[in-house]
Structure 1
């Protein structure tokens, strides 16, 4: 095993950990980062498997592996805290590592769903004696510009500018809501025969 490979991965992790700790944003990880860490851990584990467990070199390699593992956990712990803050702020992250992108999007979707349900709860309390008007089409408010929409039944809607309100088929409204192009609106009316508080 190349003695310098362990040292270089340790130095790399130390540098990345220090930069991650000092930086407000996520630090860019090297493209070959995962491969280098996997190769290093694999080679050290192989070395430990074939070495004499009573030797000093075995103990040093085991301690080195523990230090690298600890640094790796601390590095990604720092990154996770930053990602969680970005999710809560609904910010646009830079320098996400490959698996972090998927996790960021999943967390962001969960937070948006949580906030949507809180808004619905607040509306349901404020308008508890009101009911939603059901319709075949869904009213939406456009947050971003969007071109013409052609539905499966060949009806055309749009184009739209930010601030436009339109009614769309439910499938189209849901897709555009997931892409943060629109916000779905609920249309309410007071229930007849109920007295207000």
Structure 2
């Protein structure tokens, strides 16, 4: 990472302040979020004792709040802008927008099927969603279960990872028996 692209508390605060004071979406270094993640990661790895550790923890908290604020401000500008400058969007923000676009498409699909009397299509969607498989990690032991797809799964031990139908996974997650596995590095 070059010196000019390094992020610290002052540069992050300055970026958030500039974004807050402008009505348009500002151009930011394309690697901004990655550099920020490196900064936060390095800060969290540092080990101190006593007061210095409290200062570090407070700095991490402040950086986290500034980061949340920046993302919130930029996404708000993006969603409320009629003449958005696409080139100023960062890849991570495009990733967020893709999911919002998919949500709009799904909403329109459901609305259209409902008002056009396509109940079989809606039934097919619902069944497909119930049986869509997701990855979970078990927090407790679980006996064999019959999935929404009528297949047998398990038994499972604590810390086992499994791919099971969405409906069953949601029930286990709601009972704090399992947790969804998120793809992270």
For normalisation by structure 1, the TM-score amounts to 0.46
Say which structure is richer in helix.
Answer: 2
Structure with greater Cα Rg: 1
For normalisation by structure 2, the TM-score amounts to 0.48
